[in-house]
């Protein structure tokens, strides 16, 4: 016969009690998650307004934003070239509407630029509103998918490292020039922390803006990365400032720590006022439609790339 044992005596199985003790923690976690989702669904107050208005954002259900078959074919050809010809300059014109056959072949392969191109200087002179740096190690499906979309709709191009470093004789000026001579003020987009030391190059002009397209959850991206750029772009409809997240989620340690870093840096400079908060917040979470990137998206009072 099995002897009954009191639940209050040592040795009794307490798993149900342990589970009940964990229930409040689970409910709290669910509650915090729901609160965050609600925050992200609300418009920001005027003091936390991003660059642009809600009208700037794309409505996914608006048929006016549907991509045409020709544009889809263009994106497909750009993507194919990006993942296969990994060390070439890839401009948006390659395979553009009117420049591909029904069988999916581009009719203007000459638009893709290689280092041994006899007309290299002339082709590199074609200055877009913004350039995109895509090092050879990022030419996989994922990064190429994003990069060619930016190139197409910003009417830009993907640049490998050699395109920034090659020296070419320019008969117009009578000496060699490089990319930085040709484009001293054209902004350049970088993905994540994959900068390959480009903005730190002694050839990088002080007046040349750095744009960062981050996955903000990547641990490799430090506060120093955000301080060094002129504009931070993000891909979501609603971007909340980190101090808002910090207030709502005290346990969001990394975001809170990063925000404290920004505040501490600004306090040391004696510039931590409402304008500075707005500017620092904009650096971190600025929403950028293509027109923002094309117009420069400059943040007033930004201090450049030196943290």
Structure tokens at 12: 């009794």
Q: Which of 253, 140, 150, 247 is nearest to 194 (CA)?
A: 140
**One domain for residues 156 and 23:** no
Alpha carbon distance 190, 158 (integer Å):
11
Evaluate the CA torsion angle 103, 104, 109, 111 in order and state its sign.
Answer: positive
Does residue 258 lie within any of the structural domains? no
Does residue 18 lie within any of the structural domains? yes
pLDDT along the chain (307 residues), means of 10: 48 52 62 59 42 46 72 94 97 94 90 95 92 95 92 95 96 94 95 94 95 83 85 62 46 46 52 46 39 36 35
Tokens 């903005």, located at residue: 199
Does residue 187 lie within any of the structural domains? yes
**One domain for residues 146 and 31:** no
Alpha carbon distance 197, 3 (integer Å):
73
**One domain for residues 39 and 53:** no
**One domain for residues 38 and 55:** no
Residue 50: predicted pLDDT: 42
Alpha carbon distance 217, 178 (integer Å):
35
Cross-strand partners of 133: 159
Please calculate the CA angle 149-151-157 and round it to the nearest 5 degrees: 150
Does residue 281 lie within any of the structural domains? no
Does residue 245 lie within any of the structural domains? no
**One domain for residues 201 and 108:** yes
Does residue 248 lie within any of the structural domains? no
**One domain for residues 187 and 120:** yes
**One domain for residues 61 and 22:** no
Structure tokens at 127: 């200055």
Instruction: Give all strands (DSSP E) within the chain, no chain letters.
Output: 90-91, 131-133, 157-159, 168-170, 175-177, 188-191, 210-213, 231-232
Structure tokens at 235: 């891909």
User: Hey, how many other C-beta atoms are within 10 angstroms of the C-beta on 110?
Assistant: 12
Tally of domains in the chain: 2
**One domain for residues 86 and 169:** yes
**One domain for residues 112 and 175:** yes
* Three-class DSSP category at 106: strand
Alpha carbon distance 75, 92 (integer Å):
9
Does residue 162 lie within any of the structural domains? yes
Domain residue limits at 25: 14-43
**One domain for residues 38 and 171:** no
**One domain for residues 31 and 93:** no
Does residue 305 lie within any of the structural domains? no
**One domain for residues 33 and 162:** no
Residue 103: predicted pLDDT: 83
Alpha carbon distance 84, 167 (integer Å):
25
């Amino acid at each position: 016969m099995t002897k009954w044992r009191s639940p209050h005596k040592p040795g009794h199985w307490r798993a149900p009690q342990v589970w009940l003790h964990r229930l409040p923690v689970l409910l709290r976690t669910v509650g915090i998650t729901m609160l965050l989702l609600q925050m992200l669904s609300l418009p920001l107050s005027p003091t936390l307004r991003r660059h642009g208005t809600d009208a700037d954002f794309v409505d996914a259900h608006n048929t006016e934003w549907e991509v045409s078959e020709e544009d889809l074919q263009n994106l497909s050809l750009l993507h194919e070239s990006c993942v296969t010809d990994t060390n070439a300059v890839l401009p948006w014109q390659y395979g553009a509407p009117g420049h591909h056959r029904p069988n999916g072949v581009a009719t203007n392969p000459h638009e893709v630029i290689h280092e041994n191109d006899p007309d290299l200087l002339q082709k590199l002179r074609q200055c877009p509103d913004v350039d995109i740096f895509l090092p050879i190690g990022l030419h996989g499906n994922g990064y190429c998918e994003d990069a060619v979309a930016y190139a197409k709709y910003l009417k830009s191009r993907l640049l490998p490292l050699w395109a920034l470093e090659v020296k070419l004789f320019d008969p117009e000026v009578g000496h060699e020039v490089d990319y930085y001579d040709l484009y001293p003020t054209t902004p350049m987009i970088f993905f994540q922390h994959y900068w390959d030391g480009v903005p730190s190059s002694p050839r990088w002009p002080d007046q040349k803006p750095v744009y960062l397209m981050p996955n903000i959850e990547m641990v490799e991206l430090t506060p120093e990365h955000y301080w060094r750029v002129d504009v931070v772009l993000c891909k979501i409809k609603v971007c909340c400032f980190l101090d808002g997240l910090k207030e709502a989620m005290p346990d969001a340690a990394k975001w809170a720590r990063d925000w404290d870093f920004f505040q501490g840096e600004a306090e040391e400079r004696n510039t931590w006022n409402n304008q500075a908060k707005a500017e620092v917040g904009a650096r971190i979470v600025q929403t950028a439609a293509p027109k923002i990137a094309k117009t420069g998206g400059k943040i007033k009072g930004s201090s450049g790339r030196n943290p």
